[in-house]
Amino acid sequence: MSRLLRVLGWQLSSESLDIRVGRWLCYAAAPAVLIVTGLRLTQLSVSQGEALLGYLASTAVALLLVILGIVLPLAQQKRRPCEHQ
């Protein structure tokens, strides 16, 4: 078990590369969510209310992915040590 934890703890790339890749994946996933939702909801027999709710939910998910992509570089900033009193 300790060998597995040691292997999983290895760092394969730099933190800045991980953040950059994660940022672009979030930006790429946002329109993909909207496209897939649009295609799938048109194939289902749903009422207008259900379709509207589905489109609104997928838009919220897409916006959250964009926000995550924007906020992700903040993880790279230097962290201040916690001051315990």
| Alpha-carbon torsion angle 82, 5, 22, 61, nearest 10 | -90
Q: Residue ranges per domain, the chain?
A: 13-72
- pTM as predicted: 0.74
Distance, in Å, from the CA atom of 8 to the CA atom of 43, rounded to the nearest integer, reads 42
Per residue of the chain (85 residues), what is the pLDDT tens digit?
Answer: 788 888 888 888 888 888 899 999 999 999 999 999 999 998 988 899 999 999 999 999 999 999 999 999 887 765 555 655 5
What DSSP line would sit under the chain, residue for residue?
-HHHHHHHT---S-HHHHHHHHHHHHHHHHHHHHHHHHHHHHHS---HHHHHHHHHHHHHHHHHHHHHHHHGGGGGSPPPPP---
